[in-house]
Structure 1
Amino acid sequence: MTISEKVAYLKGLAEGLNIDTEKSKEGKLISVMIGILEEIGMSIEDLEENTVALGEEIDAISDDLSDVEKVVFDEDDEDEDDECCCDEDDDFFEVECPNCKETLVIDEDVLESGVIQCPSCKEKFALDLSDDCCCEDDEDECGCGCHHDHE
């Protein structure tokens, strides 16, 4: 039984008792209290309906967000498969510290300087880019944009 149904039952019970709501002070009080209970019951029902509607909208948004995440993260997964220093679109590179084996992300300026200080172990190490190039080393410059000389 819902709150509105209980209030309707209470109102019917009060009417069945023939309580005088015009002359009796107690009758007026009971009548006003029943009116307030009716308003509270309707407000609660409205809140429950809004809660259900909001829950449905949240579910729809969650589904949409899941679709967006799938598209965004699937594209990232494809990019990770194509790890190559020859990719001109990459502004950052991953390098492993030879001392602590921490993976570091560096930009092109640090890459060109050739020396890195690991933020984890504070050791400095030089970069050897000769093994990292995916291009054939037939020519003096590979033309891939890596900006290094082949041996």
Structure 2
Amino acid sequence: MTISEKVAYLKGLAEGLNLDTEKSKEGKLISVMIGILEEVGLSIEDLEENALALGEEIDVLSDDLADVESVVFDEDENDEEDYDDDWFEVECPTCEEPLIIDDEALAEGFIQCPNCQSKFSLDLSDDVVEADEEE
């Protein structure tokens, strides 16, 4: 039973007592108290409805935020992992220009610097990349 229903029941009981709300001090008091209870009950029901609506809106916003976070943070993490796995940086032994090398270029056995056009091979022993100049 809601508060408004309880107040309506109380109002019905008071009316069933046939209290004189015009002349009796007690009748006036009970009538005013029931009126106040009706207003309080309606206000509480409005607050409960608003709280439920806000809760639903918060759930929607939370879901939207989770979608945004997955797009923003997951792509960044995947991009970094892909970069670390498929690419690495070396320095040209001739012009000392930093070069980004992928696995495909590494499989060819030599690298040609786009800056100075010199060709060099990479020494991959002990997982350390060193450039050896080709003649």
Q: TM-score, normalised by structure 1?
A: 0.59
Unaligned runs of 5+ in 1: 87-129, 144-149
**What is residue 11 of structure 1 aligned with on the other side?**
11
User: Residue deviations 1:86-142, cap 9 Å, x none?
Assistant: 5xxxxxxxxxxxxxxxxxxxxxxxxxxxxxxxxxxxxxxxxxxx9x96536644x45
Q: Which amino acid counterpart does residue 56 of structure 1 have in structure 2?
A: E
Who wins on radius of gyration, i.e. which is larger?
A: 2
**What is residue 38 of structure 2 aligned with on the other side?**
38
**What is residue 54 of structure 1 aligned with on the other side?**
54
User: Residue deviations 1:46-100, cap 9 Å, x none?
Assistant: 00000110010000001101111111122112211213455xxxxxxxxxxxxxx
> Which consecutive aligned stretches of 4+ in structure 1 deviate over 4 angstroms post-superposition?
none
**What is residue 24 of structure 1 aligned with on the other side?**
24
Rounded Cα–Cα distance in structure 2 between residues aligned with 1:138 and 1:67 = 42
Unaligned runs of 5+ in 2: 90-95, 116-130
**What is residue 69 of structure 2 aligned with on the other side?**
69
Percent of residue pairs bearing the same amino acid type: 69
* Structure 1 or 2: more helix by fraction: 2
Give the length in aligned residue pairs: 100
Rounded Cα–Cα distance in structure 1 between residues aligned with 2:29 and 2:35 = 10
* Structure 1 or 2: more strand by fraction: 2
Question: Secondary structure of 2:18's match?
Answer: coil
1:1-150 pair list within 5 angstroms:
1-81=1-81, 82-83=83-84, 84=87, 86=89, 134-135=100-101, 138-139=111-112, 141=113, 143=115, 150=131
Q: TM-score, normalised by structure 2?
A: 0.65
